[in-house]
Amino acid sequence: MPAKKPTCKTSLATMPFSPTNTHTSEIILSSIIKSLPGSIYWKDKEGYYLGANDTMLEMVGMTSVIGKTDFDMP
């Protein structure tokens, strides 16, 4: 009989989430995105920009892209 591969399963319902943990995670993720040298942006399902890092903003010569679409970009 072949050996079973080890697996790691964690139910989100049992993980210790709290407003503090979530807030800390958001701060860490935001810091990582800001410090990456590549351009990073995120959009909603309709194609509107929800945010971008400083590298992306410098590339397009804008201070904010929130609420814009590709048609609004230079």
Outline where DSSP puts E strands in the chain: 41-43, 49-52
Alpha-carbon gap, residue 36 to 19, rounded angstroms: 26
- Contact at 8 Å (CB) between 34 and 54? yes
Model confidence, pTM:
0.64
Residue 5 in this model has a pLDDT that exceeds 90: no
So where are the chain's domains? 37-74
10-63: per-residue pLDDT in tens? 555 565 656 667 788 888 888 888 888 999 999 999 999 999 999 999 999 999
Alpha-carbon gap, residue 1 to 24, rounded angstroms: 46
Alpha-carbon gap, residue 28 to 59, rounded angstroms: 24
